[in-house]
Amino acid sequence: MRLLIIFALLSCIVNSLPLLFQDWSFQPLSLFNFVKKDRLIKLSPTIYQLISEDDKLKLRKKNIKFMDITEQIPIEEAYERGLVNKPNAFSWFDSLFFIGSKQVTHLSKQIPVYNYPKTTKYNSEVKELYKNIDTDLMFKKLSKFTSFFSRYYKSESGAQSAEWLYNELEKIIKPVNDKVNITKIHHNGWDQFSIIVSIPGEIEDKVVIGAHQDSANLILPSVMRAPGADDDGSGSITTLESLRLIIDSYNKNLYKPYNTLEFHWYSAEEGGLLGSVDVFSRYSNAGEVVVGMLQQDMTGYTQGSIDANVEPHFGLINDYTSIDLNNFIKLIIKSYNSIPYHESQCGYACSDHASALENGYPSAFLIESEMKYTNKYIHSTLDTIDRLDWDHIKEHVKLTVAFAFELSLAKELH
């Protein structure tokens, strides 16, 4: 009994130490909890760590971005490859201070270089579609999407919201459902599925437009309401409306892609990009070619910019993204939009574009503004639809449709 008390006291002392161990290569860890560290994450392109589900939530609360790759690399394989150090049960030092992460040589695949268009070619066709952008319809759809108690990927309502979204997509593609494919991507460990709508092109190279469908309240994700109007309800509805416009053009024989065009709605972004990691890992394992991926995570909040006396603008993320694809997006914005872009940074694995990049696919991330002006109400009950600017969301729709047209019709990318 005395020995157990001593062990418990030592564990408490270790976990009560001040923040002397902020270097991720050396983390204090409870003596009795280290065996529960069964999730493998990446904190940067070169730093891996073993943590628990509770630790993941703590990282999210601290706004520390990561990618959960447990399903892609089993723990034993991570030990064998030297990605993380294996705990030594016979070492007091390792028991009290388990070195749970390690910096290794970057293992990500090389990103191909493509010849993205230097000029736009379809201005008249694309701008004709802008006449049909329906913000009232988007408001209606987002009102329903945010009415689910939470879209947290492990919750029953999160699975229900995915079913609702899938049904809405089926309605959109119904006029062309013999030509356009819709697929549920089921994941291991939770019920909320990802969704892919694919418009086949003349070749199988893919252009991907993505958003994440889940939401989370970081106080108690499994208990508290998370409307997720901006994060990422706004991006999901932006992508939904863009698909509606393109399907209408496709149905009227006004558009047929050369490169296959896909629209993705990922599950479990809030759990460490779990859904998109699974999707792009499958693509990589199958040898799929993705010539460009655009992620939009939060497209509707402008009050932060307004309060700072800064013009409404797109936030174009320039770290951990493809420089060449970013330059193409700059061309799209200058040609098609009435607001400018401001470059910004968000760190490693801050949204699903990182999953594409991790698997060797060029990707870009466009958000509602520079990061410092983005919505501060996310991950709470206050991320509500009344805080959104529908003129701004409309600009994101315009950009999405233009990006889809110009890149899916580009024939000389290789």
Nearest to 267 by CA among 277, 257, 259, 258: 277
Buried-exposed string 248-283: b where 16+ CB fall within 10 A, e elsewhere: bbbeeeebebbbbbbbbbbbbbbbbbbbbbbbbbeb
Which pLDDT value is given to residue 99? 41
- Token readout for 27 is 């983390």
- Token readout for 262 is 């896909």
Domain-by-domain residue ranges, the chain? Answer: 2-103, 123-408
Query: How much of the chain is helix, strand and coil, in % rounded to 5?
Result: 40, 15, 45
Q: How far is CA 101 from CA 35, 44, 97, 278, in A?
A: 14, 11, 11, 22
pLDDT tens-place string over residues 346-381: 999 999 999 999 999 999 999 999 999 999 999 999
Helix then strand count (H, E) for the chain reads 13, 12
CA pair distance 257, 179, nearest whole angstrom = 12
- Token readout for 89 is 């049960």
pLDDT surpassing 70 at residue 154 = yes
Residue 13's pLDDT band (boundaries 50, 70, 90)?
very low
- Token readout for 156 is 């029953």
Q: What is the CATH number of domain 123-408?
A: 3.40.630.10
- Token readout for 238 is 């932006």
Determine how β-strand 259-266 pairs with β-strand 203-212. parallel
Please give the angle made by the CA atoms of 160, 161 and 167, to the nearest 5 degrees. 90
User: Which ranges in 67-208 belong to alpha helices (H)?
Assistant: 75-80, 92-96, 123-130, 135-145, 156-173
CA pair distance 277, 74, nearest whole angstrom = 14
**Active site members:** 212, 231, 269-270, 297, 379
Which pLDDT value is given to residue 10? 53
> Cα-flanking dihedrals φ and ψ of residue 209, to 5°?
-120, 125
Which pLDDT value is given to residue 109? 75
CA pair distance 76, 270, nearest whole angstrom = 25
CA pair distance 349, 338, nearest whole angstrom = 29
pLDDT tens-place string over residues 267-326: 999 999 999 999 999 999 999 999 999 999 999 999 999 999 999 999 999 999 999 999
Which pLDDT value is given to residue 382? 98
Please report, to the nearest 10 degrees, the dihedral formed by the alpha carbons of residues 151, 157, 162, 163 taken in order: -160
pLDDT tens-place string over residues 234-258: 999 999 999 999 999 999 999 999 9
Query: Mean of the pLDDT values across residues 32-41?
Result: 71
DSSP letter for 341, please: E
Determine how β-strand 363-367 pairs with β-strand 290-296. parallel
pLDDT tens-place string over residues 388-409: 999 999 999 999 999 999 999 9
Which pLDDT value is given to residue 394? 98
pLDDT tens-place string over residues 182-226: 999 999 999 999 999 999 999 999 999 999 999 999 999 999 999
User: Which ranges in 84-155 belong to alpha helices (H)?
Assistant: 92-96, 123-130, 135-145
pLDDT tens-place string over residues 53-110: 999 999 999 999 999 999 999 989 999 999 998 876 444 344 333 345 566 654 457 8
Contact predicate 354/363, CB 8 Å? yes
> Cα-flanking dihedrals φ and ψ of residue 39, to 5°?
-115, 130
Side-chain-facing half-sphere of 385: CA atoms under 13 Å: 16
- The model carries a pTM of 0.89
